[in-house]
Amino acid sequence: MSDYAVTPRSEDFSAWYNEIVVKSDLVDSPERTPVRGCMIIKPYGYEIWEGIRNGLDQRFKATGHQNAYFPLFIPMSFLQKEADHVEGFAPELAVVTHGGGKELEEPYVVRPTSETIIGDAMSRWIQSYRDLPLLLNQWANVVRWEKRTRPFLRTSEFLWQEGHTAHATFDDAQAETMQMLDIYADFAINEAAIPVIKGQKSDQERFAGAHASYTIEAMMGDGKALQAGTSHNLGQNFAKAFDITYTDVNNEPQHCWTTSWGVSTRMIGAIIMAHGDDKGLRLPPRLAPIQAVVVPIWKNESEAAVVLPVAQELAAKLREAGVRLHIDTREGLSPGFKYNDWEMRGVPMRVEVGPKDVQNGTAAIARRDIPGREGKQFVEQSLVVARVLTLLDEVQAGLLQQATAFRDSHLHEVVGDYDRFTEIVRGGEWALTWFSGEAEAEAKIKEDCQAVSRCFPLEQPYAGQSGPCIVTGKPATRMAYFAKAY
RNA sequence: CGGGGUGUGGCGCAGUUGGUAGCGCGCUGUGUUUGGGACGCAGAGGUCCCGGGUUCGAGUCCCGGCACCCCGACCA
């Protein structure tokens, strides 16, 4: 028993996470991975990524974006063209100095992000306002040398998509930035069942080289915040650095306005930490590689002969209905073992078929979001498909509901009471408070709370009003969330 | 990059005053089992993290590395 159990979430969230990503077969264990800080994503984990990729890619295409691919290596001089950008990334760059046995004339950086090399291409591709907007996306791996790594949450190499667009006006770029933020939020809420908060980053937390950065912030099961996606309005910073210009209707040369936006494999970490429990993962049905598993139960050959055909027929019908289905016919494992095994892997629905079911014309259906026998029900075999389809929707909604209730119970509004503010944030919960956004104010909070602002939520509870900044006491026009973060 | 911890079959661990490595799980074969983590029997599997040193002899003692985990500073 103890060999299968995982450290309870409440006891040690971090240990729970580390154990669960390995035991649920998402990644090879970090100790065995031969490259420091990098991860081996196993097939089951990669299938989750494929689900994320498909869901996002579809949304990108529907809004007019096209995929392209740019080089992994970026000339060092490109990064240096945007001062803030290179300063922000310099500490985490991997640099290639040799190739083909010779020292390179100019070192290449392994891309930490592609604003520069795509900006360079855009400068050649864009001539006229007729070429705008240019809406690109790239699915790629990037490298950022990280001191401290954790599977999915922070690794030296990770997978992501990075969108890069160029527009004729600031307003167009801003509209694009917000559109992509909305797409991320829609995906997180409706596919990953994570109730994210859309907001704007403070100047301190802004992307290196951006005019404005926006984020979707999610609350994990330990109360910490996780940035699950970002969208940046880059203003004309990169357009000026890379000479991305167009000729407008009046035949006047103009700099473009660009954006970039990304979601990474970190989203998988968000799903794990937002939904997982002491029995393992709980995957949202819309992203689960396996939505339902059929477990046939038999004692001997003669029972198997009766049970297996029924189980296989149910499996076939479920597949026909579009359910991503697996049938577990492994021999020599007890049903109990299989239940626990699939629960660890987070499969949303389980259908059990034993001799008694065959006799009664029934099957047992268990839902992953409700533990133990309460989540189990017996239904007639003819109704299994319909019930599974209904329950998959219910589980999807249930996970979002549970995560939302958890989040809301850990959010606190504070006005003018700095002691209470620090108490909340230090206690691992989220505080929403009036905030001036000044660097010194944020630095003080960081020192007192070991936390910085997460975002100014786009939906302000008292829009149009103002209140006392939690640090300076001076009137502030916006409220911001503060929380410890990953 | 600072502080702490751990490195021994695939995994989790034991290994006494230094004497040449063992347990549980898993794995292979086999038989009985199977409605919430089954059991018997028979097997396979080890550069004891790496490199030096002390010693007749090192998993054990000394020195130096490396890796991983946890806690802090930097970050999608």
Classify residue A453: in a domain, yes or no.
yes
Checking each nucleotide's C1' against the CA of A332, the nearest proves to be B34
Classify residue A284: in a domain, yes or no.
no
For the segment A156-185, what is each residue's pLDDT rounded down to a tens digit? 899 999 999 999 999 999 999 999 999 999
Q: Tokens in use for A347?
A: 């499969």
Last residue of a domain, one of A275, A302, A331: A275
The amino acid that residue A327 corresponds to is: I
For the segment A405-431, what is each residue's pLDDT rounded down to a tens digit? 999 999 999 999 999 999 999 888 999
The conformational region for residue A374 under phi > 0 = left, psi -120 to 50 = alpha, else beta, is alpha
Residues A366 and A476 occupy one common structural domain: no
Residue A371, CA distances (Å) to A242, A367, A375, A376, A409 in order: 56, 8, 6, 9, 22
Q: Which residue is nearest to nucleotide B68 (CA to C1')?
A: A31
The pairing of beta strand A349-353 with beta strand A479-483:
unpaired
Checking each nucleotide's C1' against the CA of A336, the nearest proves to be B36
A341 CA, B57 C1': separation in Å?
A: 49
Q: What's the gap between Cα A234 and its chain centre?
A: 22
Classify residue A403: in a domain, yes or no.
no
What Rg do the C-alpha atoms of chain A give, in angstroms?
25
User: For residues A101 and A124, is the Cβ–Cβ distance under 8 A?
Assistant: no
Distance (Å, whole) CA A287 – CA A281: 12
Residues A381 and A245 occupy one common structural domain: no
pLDDT score of A70: 97
Note down the domain range covering A363.
Answer: 292-397
Classify residue A5: in a domain, yes or no.
no
Checking each nucleotide's C1' against the CA of A226, the nearest proves to be B76
Checking each nucleotide's C1' against the CA of A266, the nearest proves to be B76
Q: Which residue is nearest to nucleotide B24 (CA to C1')?
A: A3
Residue A366, CA distances (Å) to A137, A157, A316 in order: 40, 38, 19
Residues A69 and A189 occupy one common structural domain: yes
Helices A301-320 and A384-409, packing angle to 10 deg: 70
For the segment A191-224, what is each residue's pLDDT rounded down to a tens digit? 999 999 999 999 999 998 899 999 999 999 999 9
Last residue of a domain, one of A250, A275, A300: A275
Query: Would the pLDDT of A2 be above 50?
Result: no
Q: Identify the CATH number of the domain in which residue A65 sits.
A: 3.30.930.10
For A94, phi then psi, to 5°, come to: -100, 130
Q: Which nucleotides of B are covered by protein (CB under 7 A)?
A: 1, 10-12, 24-25, 31-39, 67-76
A144 CA, B62 C1': separation in Å?
A: 40
A197 CA, B4 C1': separation in Å?
A: 37
Nearest to A266 by CA among A216, A338, A314, A311: A216
pLDDT score of A145: 87
pLDDT score of A1: 34
Residues A105 and A18 occupy one common structural domain: yes
Residues A63 and A201 occupy one common structural domain: yes
A379 CA, B13 C1': separation in Å?
A: 46
Classify residue A8: in a domain, yes or no.
no
Q: Which residue is nearest to nucleotide B33 (CA to C1')?
A: A299
Residues A416 and A370 occupy one common structural domain: no
A150 CA, B66 C1': separation in Å?
A: 20
Residues A224 and A331 occupy one common structural domain: no
Residues A245 and A151 occupy one common structural domain: yes
Taking residues A296-305, what's their average pLDDT?
Answer: 90
Q: Structural domain tally of chain A?
A: 3
Residues A437, A439, A440, A442, CA torsion sign: positive
A351 CA, B25 C1': separation in Å?
A: 29
Q: Identify the CATH number of the domain in which residue A475 sits.
A: 3.30.110.30
User: For residues A42 and A25, is the Cβ–Cβ distance under 8 A?
Assistant: yes
Residues A146 and A212 occupy one common structural domain: yes
Residues A376 and A417 occupy one common structural domain: no
For A210, phi then psi, to 5°, come to: -90, 155
Residues A226 and A255 occupy one common structural domain: yes
Distance (Å, whole) CA A88 – CA A84: 6
For A249, phi then psi, to 5°, come to: -60, -25
Distance (Å, whole) CA A282 – CA A338: 16
Residues A309 and A434 occupy one common structural domain: no
Q: Tokens in use for A436?
A: 């001036």
pLDDT score of A4: 62
Classify residue A328: in a domain, yes or no.
yes
Classify residue A39: in a domain, yes or no.
yes
CB-based contacts of A461, cutoff 8 Å, min separation 6: A413, A432, A479
The amino acid that residue A390 corresponds to is: T
Helix %, strand %, coil % of chain A (to 5): 40, 30, 35
Classify residue A101: in a domain, yes or no.
yes
For the segment A111-166, what is each residue's pLDDT rounded down to a tens digit? 999 999 999 999 999 999 999 999 999 999 999 988 888 889 988 899 999 999 99
Distance (Å, whole) CA A40 – CA A127: 43
Query: Would the pLDDT of A337 be above 50?
Result: yes
User: For residues A248 and A129, is the Cβ–Cβ distance under 8 A?
Assistant: yes
User: For residues A114 and A42, is the Cβ–Cβ distance under 8 A?
Assistant: no
A391 CA, B57 C1': separation in Å?
A: 68
Distance (Å, whole) CA A118 – CA A244: 10
Q: Identify the CATH number of the domain in which residue A326 sits.
A: 3.40.50.800
Checking each nucleotide's C1' against the CA of A112, the nearest proves to be B76
pLDDT interval class at A323 (50, 70, 90): very high
